[in-house]
Amino acid sequence: MDGDGILVSHDEFAALFQRSAQVLWCLAAAVLGRPKDADDVLQESALIALKKLDDLRDQDGFEAWMGQIVRYTALNARRKADRRPPVVGDAGSDDCVLDRVAAPEDAPAPVVTAGGDLLPSQVAFDDQVLDALRDLAETARACLLMKTVMELDYKHIARVLGIAEGTAMSHVHRARSRMRAALSAEGLDAGRVAS
Amino acid sequence: MTPLDARDEADLQAWIDGTMDDAASAVFERRLAADAGLRAATDLDDAVAASLRRTFVVPDLGAIVNAVKDADGGVVDGKGSATPFRPSWRVAAATLIVGFAVGMAIWTEPRDDGPLPPAGMATAEQIEFVACTDDGNALGCSLVEQIGQKLPLMTCKTPSSFTQATQANVGCGLNLRNPEALPLDGRPIDGVPDAMAFTARVDGRPVLLFIVHEQVDRRPELSHASGFRCFRRAIPPVVCYEITTFNEARLLGTIDRP
């Protein structure tokens, strides 16, 4: 702190950010509905936060404050991506085609293990899971990912999202149930994707 | 799969969360062994969790964390007066350069390049190096990844496609008089209108070409330690920069207006 009204110093902010970076990345990915671009969102959020550092009144509120910035930044990125027009190109023209190389876009890359690629059915299952995840509301998605991927307890999830602990738990429980229902409706079951 | 009743659902959630006491957990696990529907639901929950962990793998965030640590005091003035971050042309340039530096090391796929044009650089001006921003260092990571994955947004294989790309992205179609400099991998610069970047291979070395509308023109920032040279050429209404490890610009002299 100093006399200029900065309640959290740059060094303190950097330490807090480092401690929470993975959780904040997960939150960004949840809002986006995909892992792609989450690191860009996190980085942009950090830069925004640095410029607004005097809004942060105490270190205990860091994750909620930073979480809100990440959510807004991710929402903006998602809206921007949704309305982004095709870049260039005229696929019908032989002499002046700008060949867009196929990018993975939203599809997660299959994980290659020491034993080889995932089974095709497992890759398809991952796609179905991602689709079902995107059908959840943003907060439910964030709660589920933070619980499942980051293995946070409900108190921690609640702190990051600025919601009650019980609400975080309800979101996770309902999200699991809805994911199960959605995937069952697709005719998928765990036995078909067992490795 | 038959939906679970409320009690089974609550028990299953508590069991997954690990909030059941030992006795309740033992009872639930006996039911699980005997109830195929409950077991199917549990297995599907497990499969979903495994899938999410496969898909949402947290990347190495060290570069972003370091960029936050190294951010200069001018950014963090504590007065809240700074405008929201938008990537500037210079930051974007630094981004690409950092990505490019690493990309040079990993971009080893050979290309079928023909002989190269003479320099012809009378109108290109070498500009001095200035400090590279920390923002650029952090931002560069994503581009490094993209270069590493060889995923350019577009590849101009013909002079006309180069003209089309520059027309679409900087509002001015340019001629590339030496088609042997092709192909060029190009991408618009996100968040910076009227600017785009190309990479090419010249005599086996990657070269970066930035084209910006003169209204958004600023000097790109390069680190003294980068080992790159930057050349500038104004072709109104755009300005072209070539960033290279050669001692002279190799592409700028081959670009002009139609």
Q: pLDDT tens for residues B43-73? A: 899 989 999 998 898 888 888 888 888 775 4
Answer yes or no: pTM beyond 0.80.
Answer: no
Specify the amino acid at residue B234: A
Q: List per-residue pLDDT tens for chain A, 195 residues long.
A: 444 445 788 888 999 999 999 999 999 999 999 998 898 899 989 988 988 888 887 888 899 999 999 999 999 888 877 765 544 333 333 222 222 222 333 333 333 333 344 455 566 788 889 999 999 999 999 999 999 999 999 999 999 999 999 999 999 999 999 999 998 876 655 444 443
How far is the alpha carbon of B139 from chain A, nearest alpha carbon, in Å? Answer: 8
Domain spans of chain B? 96-256
Residue A17: list chain B partners with CB under 8 A.
65, 68
Q: pLDDT tens for residues B191-243? A: 566 777 787 777 777 777 888 887 776 666 555 555 567 778 888 888 888 87
Residue B137: list chain A partners with CB under 8 A.
none
Q: H-type helices in A53-137, by residue range?
A: 62-83, 120-134
Between CA B2 and CA A175 the distance in angstroms is 17
Residues of chain A with CATH 1.10.1740.10: 1-86
Residues contacting residue B237 through CB under 8 Å, at least 6 positions apart: B171, B172, B213, B214, B215
Contact yes or no for B47 and A42 at CB 8 A? no
CATH T-level topology, domain A101-195: Arc Repressor Mutant, subunit A (1.10.10)
Check CB contact of A65 with chain B, cutoff 8 Å. no
Check CB contact of A3 with chain B, cutoff 8 Å. no
Check CB contact of A184 with chain B, cutoff 8 Å. yes
Residue A1: list chain B partners with CB under 8 A.
none
CB burial readout B157-194, b (16+ within 10 A) else e: bbbbbbbbbbebbbebbbbbebeebbbbbbbbbeebeb
CATH of domain A1-86: 1.10.1740.10
Query: How far, rounded to the nearest angstrom, does the alpha carbon of residue B5 sit from its chain's CA centroid?
Result: 48
Residues contacting residue A72 through CB under 8 Å, at least 6 positions apart: none
What is the number of other CB atoms lying within 10 angstroms of the CB of residue B105? 11
C-alpha separations of B25 from A173, A184, B32, B37, B231 in Å: 18, 25, 10, 18, 70
